[in-house]
Structure 1
């Protein structure tokens, strides 16, 4: 099906959109470096995985079902061959701590939106379609757990703002690739384009495909998918993230995911990071979704 093309990455035009090689310098740290190492053996960190492909480069991804991974479409581009990666060269390792995974699997299927134009289109508009669903060979989510997917969209943005959840972005930065690192308490700050949110979470090369998520209604849920880093109309650097609502609606319409992805996450066999829940349930004085979220499309200067 070509919602989703079939095997995937583009270097979206921004500053640093791709899964990258270890000798590249990290970009996308916004002010102080707020990334902290977390225990990949504990849920929800166990659901965050490192995606590697045949050319040696890496990205991040998140389990959203027993055998389903959400990541950035550009993470499937083989730089060496200058073509889409075959499934047999893709490998997903969930919940890494000191390079030891909670669970790992190969990939048997890849799907991404027909509207994603691939490596040649460097626009933010193309970045809004830069997502992919991977089907794993093994249902490692039964061990590592998985996150639910929210219905965050322009229509529901205010509801999430009023809920004021503490936001988290977690993935595998290329300079810290052996262990999952997280930024707790970052923000969605507005719309860069229709279908693409701007955020201030620290995210560098290798973090493409990582989730921006929160604890909502008794479950950890993906709010948005980090796919790019950009600077437009402002000296500041921003992260670009696709809201989960439109993404999951398209995936459901094309049968890329089952309806169960909306039911919430599952812990699997991984022990809970119980201290994290206490932090998240205390909340944040301003929440993680800025009131300017419905502000000027494409005007980064207005986001704050």
Structure 2
């Protein structure tokens, strides 16, 4: 049997109980560790090797910088956590941001980060932004093991909804979750996020494709180029002239010489409609 290796694109619960009632799952298979934890444990300084253009040496040509002030990019931003790491996130309602749960999980303390330590910066670009808000609470789901890891069996639960202190989506707009139950495999999609190799600007890849649907459509595989920082970044599709969120990036899977992204599908959040 071929072994599938997983990695998180930085820094990991169907509908869950409130956080105070949530329990971690100690029996999950160990398959991945958040990249920001790996870097600390290895003493990595996090230095990135750039070429003469200021891009990562392996930066994909398919990925381009987009204007954060324009639609739909302005509804995407950085979720900053405890001044230690960030992930990507997207406004899905005036005061709600969708991101990945693993970004909010402190694997050292084996507990969630506190809401006071989390804030969202919309349309961030090189120190500038359109809107900013701290959060007063969040709802997360997932089945973590003792070290805060997640696998292909639980990736569909790697989501979190942040409740913002300010309804900044009223000012800059927000992107609705897809109303479609499932998009055909092979359909073209767009992934946007704040990659670790270009953390100061929002980049996107258009024209990548859905490869397959998993767990009755609760997650899906795609071939967009991903790297640390993309976690929580929305996978978008334009439908009838309007942009909608099909899901959010969670994991990267590898098998032999193949690699692909795994996303949490919007249908995994049936209660999270604006």
TM range (shorter): 0.7 to 0.9
Partners of 2:33 and 2:72 in 1: how far apart? 26
Q: Which has the higher helix share?
A: 1
Task: Identify the residue that residue 244 of structure 1 maps to in structure 2.
Answer: 266
- Report what 1:171 is aligned to: 193
1:116 and 2:129 aligned: no
What's the CA shift for 1:4? 4.9
Helix, strand or coil at the partner of 1:125: coil
**Separation (CA, whole Å) in 1 of partners of 2:159 and 2:211:** 20
**Where do 5+ consecutive residues of structure 1 fail to align?**
262-304
Does structure 2 retain, via aligned residues, the 8 Å contact 1:228–1:240? yes
Tell me how far apart the structure 1 counterparts of residues 118 and 64 of structure 2 sit (CA, whole Å).
27
| 2:197 match: secondary structure | helix
Aligned to 1:83: 111
Map of 1:229 onto structure 2? 252
| 1:143 alignment partner, SS class | helix
For 1:203 and 1:16, locate their aligned partners in 2 and report how far apart those are by CA, in whole Å.
16
Instruction: Say if 2:72 is the partner of 1:44.
Output: yes
- Among 180, 205, 211, the residue aligned to 2:228: 205
Contact 1:14/1:231 (8 A) holds in 2: no
The alignment yields a C-alpha RMSD, in angstroms, of: 3.2
8 Å CA contact retained: 1:55, 1:79 = no
| Aligned 1:144-163 pairs, distance under 5 A | 144-153=172-181, 156-158=182-184
Aligned counterparts of 1:37 and 1:133: Cα–Cα separation in 2: 26
Q: How does 1:57-72 map to 2 (within 5 A)?
A: 57-72=85-100
Counterpart secondary structure, 2:224: coil
Count of aligned pairs: 241
TM-score calculated relative to the size of structure 2: 0.77
For residues 192 and 228 of structure 1, what CA distance do their matches in structure 2 show?
Answer: 13
